[in-house]
Structure 1
Amino acid sequence: MLFRLQILLIIGGIALGIYSFQEMRAGMGASSDPVAVELADLEAGSSAPDKHLQVGDHIALYHGTFYQWEQQNNEPENGGSRVTKAYYPIISPTHPYAEGMDADADLESFAVLVKTNRFSTIGEIPDMPGPVQSISGLTRPASVALESDFQDLLRSDYPGINLDQILVLEDGRQPTSVALGIIMMLASAALIAAGGAWMFASARS
């Protein structure tokens, strides 16, 4: 029993260290407050002014959501299936697709893909586009932020798309402060050291 607790302490410290490193890396160079940007400018090829962005008026293409769901008891996919990850494209009101938009039209390109935790089940994902006033969060290139299976889905649906030019905006995510990052790293080191010392002391007794 003691050995399990010692191992859990060390594993917890390692997990906290990995998490804090990822948080600090994701927010490195980002401003503490989101920087406003026009989605139309990003669609025109302009570079993002910061990693922490606030996108104004836009259209959320919920019907084009890419999602991962959790299968339970071998049940087939249905409206009650739990969503574990979800991404949907957003476009500006001036985007060519928005002029004659409907759920059956073909979207050829976009600049931002939103990662969201708002949909608990598949049935909660809207099947039609919708206007949104504003959204903010940390961004990363899709080539870095997306797992390989989601990258493959994007390339399949949008042939020729350049994932380095697509930003993934994580809805509501804010950069971790340097101070908090250091505290988490120190806590990680303390947990690992405590677990190791406890294990060493137990072995000697």
Structure 2
Amino acid sequence: MIVHILLIVGGLFAGFLGYQELGLAQQASALPQPIELVDLESGQAPPNIHVQLGHHWKVWDELIYSYRTEKEDEEVGPATRIDYSYFPIISEEHPYSQAFNRLAERYESLDQVPEAEWPRLKDFAVLVRSEAFSVVGKLPGDEGWGEAEQMVGLIVNDIHRLKSDEKSLLSQSYPSLDLDKVLILEEGRQVESLAYCLGIMTLGAGLVITGGVLIFRSTTGRVEGVGELPPLLKKAEVF
């Protein structure tokens, strides 16, 4: 019976996954549409959920991640597996970037900047969801920033909403930022074909039907067994 139930649960999950992918495939263009991050920061709507961003900075200092351990009381270490991570990205024109540029002109090295003069990132337009880091030991570490010439991915706000604990962590750093309006860009996410989406949904339906039929047959078999009980036991139940 447990196997039958697992078939149904697996089928429902596959069907839901296929439905999500179908929704994205219907919204996304086959090729990523180029847009500059500064345009998104100024409030411009993305041309499509499948986008290619130009030059930007990854703010590693604000990275958060979801991890898995074998035991509840196990300490997080370099080998701890990471499911996914979130980090903001900003353009060269962002006020935070500009503040650092001014400091670089004023001081020979950023190491010489007094702590009181360090700027603070107050808001951002795009939060990246990434699976690039498989374990904690591969996280950027002490690197505060990461420069990149482009990033391709899908805007997945419709299927990946921030969890309450993730919102809480980000809200501590950005109390005035409306996280519901931030675009969530899944790095490297590809558009699945219509055939793939329908195939996953068909597989899910098949698993659900198979599990249901097996449960029905096992239940029917038990009912038939009752009909074969000795007559004396039947008579005792009647009286």
Indicate the residue corresponding to 1:83 in structure 2: 82
Comparing 113-122 with 170-179, greater Cα deviation is found at: 170-179
Indicate the residue corresponding to 2:23 in structure 1: 25
Distance 1:19 1:80, change over 3 A: same
Mapped pair 1:123 → 2:137: yes
Contact in 1 for aligned 2:20/2:159 (Cα 8 Å): no
CA distance in structure 2 between the partners assigned to 1:10 and 1:95 by the alignment: 49
CA distance in structure 2 between the partners assigned to 1:165 and 1:85 by the alignment: 21
Indicate the residue corresponding to 2:217 in structure 1: 201
Superposed displacement of residue 169, structure 1 = 0.6
* Matching residue's letter, 2:74: E
Superposed displacement of residue 144, structure 1 = 5.8
Superposed displacement of residue 151, structure 1 = 1.4
Query: 1:28-107 counterparts in 2 under 5 A?
Result: 28-73=26-71, 74-99=73-98, 100=100, 105-107=119-121
* Matching residue's letter, 2:30: S
Contact in 2 for aligned 1:114/1:170 (Cα 8 Å): yes
Comparing 22-31 with 187-196, greater Cα deviation is found at: 22-31
RMSD between superposed Cα atoms in Å: 2.4
Query: 1:124-143 counterparts in 2 under 5 A?
Result: 124-126=138-140, 127-128=142-143, 129-141=145-157
Superposed displacement of residue 201, structure 1 = 2.4
Superposed displacement of residue 158, structure 1 = 0.5
Superposed displacement of residue 142, structure 1 = 9.0
Superposed displacement of residue 96, structure 1 = 2.1
Superposed displacement of residue 180, structure 1 = 2.2
Secondary structure of the residue aligned to 1:161 is: coil
Contact in 1 for aligned 2:25/2:194 (Cα 8 Å): no
Contact in 2 for aligned 1:142/1:166 (Cα 8 Å): no
Q: Deviations over 1:105-136 (max 9, x none)?
A: 41111111111111122232113211111111
Indicate the residue corresponding to 1:10 in structure 2: 8
* Matching residue's letter, 2:131: N
CA distance in structure 2 between the partners assigned to 1:28 and 1:113 by the alignment: 23
Distance 1:52 1:171, change over 3 A: same
Instruction: Find the structure with the greater CA-based Rg.
Output: 2
Pick from 144, 164, 172: which aligns with 1:148? 164
Percent identical across equivalent pairs? Answer: 35
| TM-score, normalised relative to structure 2 | 0.76
CA distance in structure 2 between the partners assigned to 1:186 and 1:65 by the alignment: 38
Superposed displacement of residue 5, structure 1 = 2.7
Secondary structure of the residue aligned to 1:188 is: helix
CA distance in structure 1 between the partners assigned to 2:184 and 2:68 by the alignment: 22
Unpaired segments ≥5 residues, structure 2:
102-109, 112-117, 222-239
CA distance in structure 2 between the partners assigned to 1:78 and 1:97 by the alignment: 32
| TM-score, normalised relative to structure 1 | 0.87
Superposed displacement of residue 59, structure 1 = 0.9
Q: Deviations over 1:39-97 (max 9, x none)?
A: 01111111111111111111111222011233444233344433222101111122221
